[in-house]
Homo-oligomer: A and B are copies of this chain.
Amino acid sequence: MSKRQMIIGMHLGNGYGALAEAWRMPGVDPRAYTSFDAKVRQAQAAERGKFQFLFLPDGPHAAGGDIRYEPSGFNLDVMMTLAAVARGTERIGMVATGSTTFNEAFNLARHFKALDIMNHGRTGWNAVTSASPEVAANYGQRIPSSADRYGRAHEMIQIVQALWGSWGKDAWVADPETGEYAKDEEIAPINLGGEFVASRGPLYIPPSEQGQPVIFHAGGPSPNALSLAGRYASGFIAAAFTIEEARAQRRAFREATERAGRDPDEIKFFPGLMTTIAKDKRAALDRRITLTGRMFPQRAMYLQQMLGVRIDPARLDDPLSPEQLSRAHAAGGDPRAVRALEVARDGWSLRDVLAHGVIDYQPVVVGPVTEVADHMQEWFEAEAADGFWVIPDVYEGGLDAFVDGVVPILQERGLFHLDYEGTTLRDHLGARPQYGVDARVTG
């Protein structure tokens, strides 16, 4: 029996990397935000590392801090970027967010299915509701209630999948000899209409090599998210700070999948992992100080809350005093506090505590390649993950360090495949094929 192996996706955001000052780093194109070439190169590097997919989150709105000093975290346009990436890569899958709240079903179905044709069956749709008022404002609207958002999300996914399946597996003939172009009886309107979304169809796009795109979901384990992802998702993009939290989330999504009548192995669970890699711990911490140091005074205030002791932002070069350490505790219920306390107790200066990434949106490993591989192995073997979505600190440099440093270690340990097993995203995930009309007719 073959050993269970992990699946790796790479975050692809604004083109620089995930950290505030990434765009200024040596070796990074400061104009990567509008450079499709840069994104294609980054995708090619991930493909060199045999990553199974790219993940492009999206608002659409401006994500991030102060535009005077740092770019929006999101991609210029996820569909246009993926079209470029599709034309510049051969095997890697590509998963983009498409809001179920602020898209017309027919438009979204068409863009994603066309991409799936273009990349020969390597597309996934991260179907999430939009919960941010900033996104709603771009559409001149307000954010609906959770019930309405998720009600619409169910209809969107059903209608989009039906549009994707408008053409049966063998509907497209295109035989110049006989003059037969398509089998009319295998192309059907969908005529679906719910409370929020409706479409008649059909969508005039034949099946791709994987039939149709794969459904992903991203978020936390809210009851609505559990039932949506449990019903439709083949991949779940998660945020979890500890092994325990990730195991609990993974278990909850597997149970939700089972409740929806599916095999729990059909949903793959991917917690995030940010990396800052250098030859040793000290060099990696220094790299991260360069990349995020500007935020440290502000983050020191969070750290004070997390540890329940007063911190002087002017004295970040000192470690916590023995007196402070005796009073410090994981305060305020933030799951990151436990790790922050651990690092502080190891005697690092406060600057280095922050440089460990104890306050960030995802778990962070700052260190040499083996430390990254160890983290992944530990989470994977504890059944806290089926794989990861990896967020390199900087694209190109920081990504290359992962691809050329961490991947070979995982492969040596038998934890990661040596090459792609197939050509489609469904192949990469082990998700079953999904076609249209004829499948519906013949069951």
Contacts and interface: CB of A to CB of B under 8 A. Distances in A.
Interface stretch (A29-37, A144-152, A257-265, A266-274): A29-37
Interface string A174-193: 11100111111001000001
Contact of A30 (B102, B175, B198): B175
A375 to B, nearest CB: 31
Interface stretch (A74-82, A234-242, A309-317, A406-414): A74-82
A72 B204 contact: yes
A80 B88 CA distance: 14
A44 interface: no
A114 B200 contact: no
A294 to B, nearest CB: 8
A187 B138 CA distance: 15
A71 interface: yes
A431 interface: no
A140 interface: yes
Contacts of A80: 79, 83, 111, 114-115, 118
Interface of A: 21, 23-25, 30-31, 33-34, 36, 60-62, 66-72, 74, 76-77, 79-81, 83-84, 87-88, 102-107, 110-111, 113-115, 117-118, 137-141, 174-176, 179-184, 187, 193, 197-202, 204-206
- Of A31, A104, A115, chain B has the most CB atoms within 10 Å of the CB of A104
A140 B197 contact: yes
Contacts of A34: 117, 205-206
A71 B181 contact: yes
A104 B104 contact: yes
Contacts of A88: 87
A167 to B, nearest CB: 10
A68 B180 contact: yes
Given A34-B206, A87-B87, A110-B77, A200 B118 contact: no
B180 A138 contact: no
A36 B71 CA distance: 32
B114 A103 contact: no
A79 B76 contact: no
Given A83-B84, A87-B87, A138-B199, A67 B33 contact: no
